[in-house]
Amino acid sequence: MRFRSLEIQGFKSFPDKTKLTFNDGITAVVGPNGSGKSNIADAVRWVLGEQSSKTLRGGKMEDVIFGGTQARKPQGYAHVQITIDNSDRALPYENDLVTISRKLYRSGESEYRINQNSVRLKDIYELFMDTGLGRDGYSIIGQGKIAEIVSAKSTQRREIFEEAAGISKYRYRKAEAQRRLEGAEENLLRLRDILLELESRVEPLRVQSEKAAQFLEYAAEKKTLEISLWVLTLERSKQVLREQEDKILLCKTEHDEIQAEIDGIEKSINHLFAQMQELAVQIDERRQKTREIEDLSAKSGADIAVMRNDIAHNESSIQRIEAELTQSGASDSDLDEKIRTYEDGIAQKEDALNDLHAGQQKTREEIDAFSARRTECAGRIDALKERRYALSQSINEVKLSSASSGSLIDETIERLASIKDNALVRDENLIRVQKEQADCTELLAEIADNIQSLQNAQKGYQLKLESRQKKMDSLAANRREYEDKARERLQKAQLLFNMENSMEGFSQSVKYIMAQAGKGALHDIYGPVSRLITVADEHALAIEIALGAAMQNIAVKDEAVAKRAIGMLKESRSGRATFLPVSTVKGNRLTEGWLDTADGFVGVAAGLVRYEERFAGIINQLLGRIVIVRDLDCATAIAKRAGYKFRIVTLDGQVVNAGGSMTGGYAAKSAGILSRAKEIDALKAEAKGLQEQMARLDGELKALQAEAAELRAVAAGIDGELKTAQEDKIRYESEKKRLDLAYEEAVRVKEQAALEYDQLTARLEELKGQNVSNSELLGDLTHQMEEVAGNLARLGSQRDDCQSRVEEAANRFSEGKVREAALENEIAGIRQMIAQLVSQKENQAAHTAELERQKAEHAAEIEAIGERIAGAEAQRETYARQAEALNAEIREMAARRNESEAQSSRLRAGEKEILARRETAARELARLEEKKTALQSEYDGIISRLWDEYEITRSQASEAAQPVEDPAKAQRRLGELKSKIKALGSVNIAAVEEYKEVSERYTFLKAQVEDVEKSRAELGKLINDLTRDMQNIFAENFQKIAGHFAKIFTELFGGGRAELALTDPANILDSGIEIYVQPPGKIIKNLAALSGGEQAFVAIAIYFAILKVRPSPFCLLDEIEAALDDVNVVKYAQYLRTMCHKTQFITITHRRGTMEEADVLYGVTMQEEGVSKLLELNVSEVEQKLGIK
């Protein structure tokens, strides 16, 4: 097992995805302080399950996520993944490479994965237990932790020695067993408490259960008696209700006749009322129209007054307008004079302003001229300064070039020689990588073809399996359906069989007689009529209705048998029954020939049933004069034709009785005592057919399951081959990527070397030429610098003179601008006054024209109003004539309405007597209805009590009721039962079931207690065995570690002696561990007396001793040699090298001695603040190329 790679992203100072690859030997990670070296060790510790943020050098676990810098945003998660080479199968996975990863989000969500499969933290702990890589292992030694093994207390050193001795897994198992033992003890205590509680409940529940059973027995008898008495009461109430309904019908008829007479009178009155209403409406309409005409006349008068007022108003307006026109003509001349005065003032001001503009223009030209000269001087000065700076830079560059040209030429020559020497190595490397690429590509193509073939086969078998599974699911569903149907049929058949055996539906007396016959107490009993006949399904309902209660009549041999049976019923008080002696009962069938051709005729009832010939007389007696027809219409037609001489029953159970009465309504399909036996046979036959179907489906299912099992076995084999091929593909694709990168790198290195060689050759020639011209160029540049300085002084003087002249002219120009602004403001004010006067004059002219227009409008309006007044007066006269005509019509209609009111009053007087008669009839009807309601309420009350007490309907009650021969006796028995139930007191009905449950639970828990006690004993034995194994293993390995420590200490310190000892050898598993050392030439009584370097070296010797006894696959050492001097660092590194054949070392260091011994160097830098970057150097390859080793 080897550590192959580490991938970090978003962890501490590594925001970007960073990958470190590790080979055998020693890999060193170097870099300046604060660059993030130790974050690599933290990443490994974190991915292996470290939960202490303090150990990871943070305040909280979220601190391991990259927190951002000024240039970078914070990361949302941290992710670390290690890849371990598992070719030796040290880990329990069938993969050559095993990946372990951990991911933490800022939200606090965390996930662990092994080979990309989500696992628990516990799984990772258990995976590395006793490998040295566990939580308390010795494979990862953190910064500053090396000396803790020396400075710690003796008891605190145990953890690392237990991991080294290989008993961590045993201790873990022991702890698990102890936890399970504690759980078993708690379970045992809890179970015993529950058992004790159940023991206290069992006996009281048994007593309550017996009491509840007695109660249920009394309650059942009470229910039967109470229902029977209520049913008897219901039958009596029903008869009384029918009589009451007949009385109500007669009273209702009388009431309806009186009401018809009243309705006639009301109709006449309503007709007269309608006439009066119509007249009233017409009168109101005419009155309304009269009011409207009067309103219009009044409105016309008001309009005339308004119009006359408008004429007066218009005349007044004309007078006002004429006065305003006279006043407006006088003010126009005054406005013209003011305008001329202001225009003269503007002319004078504008002349002065023009003179001032001319002076300002001259001053502006003077300023522009001197400014242009000043700008020109400044531009030439800036150009000279830039020239001076450029010359200065050139002089410095020439001097620097002269100083460095010699050394650059030497370095270039040396580099050209190096590039030429390494060309052969680069070419060989490129050829090797190309060959490996071709081999890998060819192998990948073969693997891809194999995978495609396996996937096709896998899909084929998967499709076959899915097809078989669908068939099996369909067959299983069909079988379940058949099974449910068969179970349903058998259950129903069993129910009907039980009912048939118990003679369900037969009266108590029939059951009694048949029971006595079964016992042999009575002979020659043939049974009830329903059992003597068989009937087709389509006729069953009709025959059952036709027979009615006669189905329970009992056929016997002769009268003597009938007498004996009646005597037994009487003696046993078992009810009454009808007996049919075969010897005496003789019946005849109908012989109406025309029935065969009658519409809807089915047959005579006796001819539609099958029976033994000896019972022909009885069947003819019961069914010989009953006709079965299709429907009620056919029944009524046949009955009418036959003169209602015989009984007719329809197929749906409607009856036309002899004499003409009819019985009918809804009748359920027959499933009663008549067709019960036949239905049982049909159900059994149907169930047998379903079971045969089930057997056939079972055979098909078994064949399909065998076929599917065979397909799964083949598919499993293909899955295994496919998994292996895919793993090979992943491995070789990874290798191909590595080779592609290696090839690209080799080509890049070759091309870069060639380009560098060409560039260096050109550069060498350039440097040689440059040396020749540097001296000449330096003299020329110095002369140019002197000329530039003289020109700068001359131009500076000219620029200052121009500046003073510009400032003087600018002052004059500013004063002129102030005078210009004052004149312009005065002119603008005068112009504004003129504009106001002109606007006033224009407004006055417009006003005069508007007055003339208004005057003309008022005159025209006066003329129009006069015409409207004449029209309005003519309309008023028309309105007066219309109102007089309407008033005459109103008077005539009022007279007709008065006549209708008189006639209506006469009808009302005659109606009063009839209303009194109706009131008397209504009171009688109400009295009868009230009595019926009381009877119905009593009837419904019993129905409600049946439902409230027993949740049964009226029909169910009739079926459940028993004949009551002596109601008084039954009532007394009911009272006795109620007294007995009351005497029982409080009864817990649930006690029967509860007693059963508690009793079963008590038995179950008792068995559980025994199981837990057995488990406790087994766990105790396991703990003792683990303790013994731990003692033996720890003792053996501790002695080995102590021996190696003494030897390694002497080698590292160059002498002296060292010892490891247990503080309590008798208690080896809890004993502390003491360290005794004596460096050469020293006497040490306390480890604290050692220097920091010596303490570190002692701790290193202990770790080396542990690795000798239990070599860890790899170790990560974080600056554990920091406290050593240079000589001891070399010793440490050399000893590290001696153990590389068994352990892979990754060391974080800044010590030269350790770096020199490393095979690969990783450099950690922080070019960007807060962000760590990696550089890799394979020291072994470099040394080999340079020929150092």
CB 28 within 8 A of CB 1154: yes
Query: Rounded to an integer, what distance in angstroms lies between the CA atom of residue 546 and that of residue 1073?
Result: 108
pLDDT tens digit string along 146-160? 667 777 776 667 777
Cα angle 1167-1169-1170, degrees, rounded to a multiple of 5: 115
For residue 671, pLDDT over 50 is answered with no
Query: Rounded to an integer, what distance in angstroms lies between the CA atom of residue 498 and that of residue 515?
Result: 15
Whole-model pTM: value is 0.38
DSSP notation for 671-700: -STTTHHHHHHHHHHHHHHHHHHHHHHHHH
Residue for token pair 């519409």? 599
CB 577 within 8 A of CB 507: yes
Query: Rounded to an integer, what distance in angstroms lies between the CA atom of residue 194 and that of residue 202?
Result: 12
What 3-state DSSP class applies to 1168?
Answer: strand
pLDDT tens digit string along 696-729? 888 888 888 778 777 777 777 787 778 777 877 8
Query: Rounded to an integer, what distance in angstroms lies between the CA atom of residue 194 and that of residue 986?
Result: 27
Residue for token pair 């303490």? 1095
Question: Which conformational region is residue 49 in: left (phi greater than 0), alpha (psi within -120 to 50 degrees), or beta?
Answer: left
DSSP notation for 35-54: SSSHHHHHHHHHHTT---TT
* Residue 605: predicted pLDDT: 92
For residue 208, pLDDT over 60 is answered with yes
pLDDT bucket at 846, cuts 50 / 70 / 90: confident
pLDDT tens digit string along 342-359? 777 777 777 777 877 778
The letter for the amino acid at 264 is: G
What is the separation of C-alpha 949 from the centre of its chain, rounded to a whole number of angstroms?
Answer: 48
> Which domains are seen in the chain, by residue range?
1-139+1115-1189 (3.40.50.300), 506-671 (3.30.70.1620)
pLDDT tens digit string along 256-293? 888 788 778 778 877 877 777 787 778 778 778 887 88
For residue 550, pLDDT over 60 is answered with yes
Q: Is 439 exposed, middle or buried (0-12, 13-18, 19+ CB in 10 A)?
A: middle
Q: Which is more confident, 253 or 410? A: 253
Query: Rounded to an integer, what distance in angstroms lies between the CA atom of residue 1113 and that of residue 134?
Result: 12
pLDDT tens digit string along 580-604? 999 888 888 888 888 888 999 999 9
pLDDT bucket at 670, cuts 50 / 70 / 90: very low
Looking at the DSSP bridge assignments, the partners of residue 80 are 8, 102
Per-residue pLDDT, averaged over 832-846, amounts to: 74
CB 1162 within 8 A of CB 29: yes
pLDDT tens digit string along 1026-1055? 788 878 887 888 888 889 888 988 888 888
The strand pair at 1114-1118 and 1144-1148 is best described as parallel
Query: Rounded to an integer, what distance in angstroms lies between the CA atom of residue 104 and that of residue 62?
Result: 8
Element (DSSP H or E) covering residue 876: helix 676-950
Residue for token pair 């007949």? 246
Q: 592-605 as b/e, with b when 16 or more CB fall inside 10 Å? A: beebeeeebbbebb
pLDDT bucket at 664, cuts 50 / 70 / 90: confident
Per-residue pLDDT, averaged over 944-969, amounts to: 78
Query: Rounded to an integer, what distance in angstroms lies between the CA atom of residue 1061 and that of residue 1074?
Result: 5
Give the CA count within 13 Å in the CB-facing half-sphere of 417: 6
The strand pair at 601-604 and 1160-1168 is best described as unpaired
* Residue 1185: predicted pLDDT: 58
Give the CA count within 13 Å in the CB-facing half-sphere of 381: 15
Helix axes 1092-1109, 991-1053, angle to 10 degrees: 120
* Residue 79: predicted pLDDT: 94
Highest mean pLDDT among 441-445, 985-989, 1182-1186: 441-445
Alpha carbon distances (Å) from 417 to 413, 760, 1172, 1182: 7, 11, 36, 18
| Least confident stretch, 1003-1012, 1101-1110, 1160-1169 | 1003-1012
For residue 853, pLDDT over 60 is answered with yes
Per-residue pLDDT, averaged over 417-439, amounts to: 78
Query: Rounded to an integer, what distance in angstroms lies between the CA atom of residue 956 and that of residue 273?
Result: 60
Per-residue pLDDT, averaged over 823-832, amounts to: 74
**Two tokens, residue 287:** 């009155």
pLDDT tens digit string along 761-793? 887 777 777 666 766 777 777 777 777 777 777
For residue 634, pLDDT over 90 is answered with yes
What counts of helices (H) and strands (E) characterise the chain?
Answer: 19, 24
Query: Rounded to an integer, what distance in angstroms lies between the CA atom of residue 142 and that of residue 405?
Result: 51
Query: Rounded to an integer, what distance in angstroms lies between the CA atom of residue 859 and that of residue 313?
Result: 11
- Direct distance between the N- and C-terminal alpha carbons of the chain, in angstroms, rounded to an integer: 28
CB atoms within 10 A of CB 552: 20
Give the CA count within 13 Å in the CB-facing half-sphere of 602: 25
CB 1035 within 8 A of CB 1068: yes
CB 821 within 8 A of CB 417: no
For residue 567, pLDDT over 70 is answered with yes
Residue for token pair 């406290």? 1123
Give the CA count within 13 Å in the CB-facing half-sphere of 856: 6
Query: Rounded to an integer, what distance in angstroms lies between the CA atom of residue 690 and that of residue 682?
Result: 12
Query: Rounded to an integer, what distance in angstroms lies between the CA atom of residue 490 and that of residue 482?
Result: 12
In the predicted model, what is the mean pLDDT of the chain? 79
| Least confident stretch, 195-209, 250-264, 320-334, 509-523 | 320-334
Highest mean pLDDT among 940-949, 992-1001, 1054-1063: 1054-1063
CB atoms within 10 A of CB 732: 19
Alpha helical stretches, state H, 502-522: 508-519
Residue for token pair 């560039």? 759
pLDDT tens digit string along 354-378? 877 778 788 777 777 877 877 887 7
